[in-house]
Amino acid sequence: MTQPPVPNSGPVCVPCRLAVIGAVVLVLAGGFAYTAGWLTPARLTASRFINTFETVAGQPHPGYRRNHAKGLCVEGYFDSNGNGAAVSRATVFAPGRTPVTGRFAVPGGNPSAPDTSSPVRSLALQFQLANGEQWRTGMNSTPVFAVHTPEQFYQQLLAARPDPATGKPDPAKLKAFYAANPETLPFQNWVKAHPPSSSLANAAYYGINAFRFTDSSNTTRAVRWAMVPETPYAPITDAQKAAKNFLEADLDQRLQSGPLRWHLLLTVAQPGDPTDDATLQWPATRQQIDAGTLVLEHANSQEDGTCRDINFDPTILPAGIAPSDDPLLAARSAAYALSFQRRTREETLHPAVHQKLTQGQTAGQTQGQTQGQAQGDHS
């Protein structure tokens, strides 16, 4: 068989080819540079967030989360009663049991900060669904967040940076931030009216951001969730305020007497309720669904426990739950990923780092008390 003639392409233009290759390399490098934020230094990137969290923490804490650094791991399960299936087809809402790994924490970037450094406590959970999906959530003990947008949160962090002269945040800067951002009022008012709980076990934890729930007939509704404790709320005591580190010992003691329980309450929005603004609560009259019971049985240390290598990214969701249009969610996802990347890298490079810090914690406690106390680190 004869081959078709190959057309004569003429002399090869080497400079043209090199120019094309050079252009491709430039476009790729430009893409990387843009993604890294080098071309747009004013753009709010995950690295700007994480670098600023590190500055607010005052000194490096390698291997630890860049926010909510002080915490402990917990394990248990979620018993679904089937009621959540009315709003979501996620299999976690079918009747039955789902294993859960979690983490209690206190906001701020210092793993040795006193428990009294913030009025907020947090609970993060990873539900391991039987079909391989996961539902990860990070919840705080306030029903609203201080700020509406990632940019505002960044400005709040800047206002909370320690003053080089005192090593502490400048209260005047925080005051000026709050005055310039009246969206923070519902959060400030809520915190004033609700003293911190005496225990991690008797606080309610709120997902705060809205999510989109889709049921088995493809109807989608906006939903917020909260874990409401069976243990009755009690405010922090004067003795606890003076002790400064009491939350972990209190939890261990309670768990020795048996598991601790919370109810998963789903609040269903009505059309027109804001889904993109975590500073605003929905009216108290909204439908609430008790979807089942979270049961926590064991606690272990965050230095080598089951939650250490989990990134509680709130956008990791099972089919039937999706992110809303709340701008905080994408910013959270990006910032948590970079915090996770830095701390796990440090973990690998310096495996002894956690051990040293843990041993040094008691001695460093007093020093730690002057750091991570920024009122602005309530995420």
Task: Give the residue numbers marked as catalytic.
Answer: 68
Neighbouring residues of 372: CB distance < 8 A, sequence distance ≥ 6? 56, 57, 58, 69, 70, 108, 109, 110, 113, 117
DSSP 23-79: HHHHHHHHHHHHHHTSS-TTS--HHHHHHHHHHHHSS--TTS-SSS-EEEEEEEEEE
Measured from the CB of residue 256, what is the shortest distance to ligand HEM in angstroms? 23
Stretch in the footprint of ligand HEM (CB under 6 A) among 31-39, 217-225, 238-246, 324-332: 324-332
Site string for ligand HEM, 76-105 (x = CB under 6 A): ---------------------------x-x
Q: How far is CA 57 from CA 94, 145, 163, 249, in A?
A: 42, 20, 12, 24
Measured from the CB of residue 142, what is the shortest distance to ligand HEM in angstroms? 8
Number of residues counted as binding ligand HEM (CB under 6 A): 32
Residue 336 counted as an annotated binding residue: yes
**Is residue 187 near ligand HEM by the rule CB under 6 A?**
no
**Is residue 223 near ligand HEM by the rule CB under 6 A?**
no
Among 143, 150, 196, 320, binds ligand HEM (CB under 6 A): 150
* Token pair of 33 as six digits: 């540079």
- When the beta carbons of 143 and 318 are compared against ligand HEM, the nearer one is 143
Stretch in the footprint of ligand HEM (CB under 6 A) among 37-45, 133-141, 241-249, 257-265: 133-141
E runs forming strands in the chain: 70-80, 96-106, 122-128, 134-140, 205-206, 211-214, 220-229, 260-268, 288-301, 321-323
The per-type count for the chain, helices as H runs and strands as E runs, is: 9, 10
Enumerate residues 235-274 that contact ligand HEM by CB under 6 A: none
Binding residues for ligand HEM, per CB under 6 A?
49, 53, 65-68, 71, 103, 105, 122, 124, 138-140, 145, 150, 153, 207-209, 278, 311-312, 328, 331-332, 335-336, 339-340, 343, 379
Would you list which residues are annotated within the binding site?
A: 336
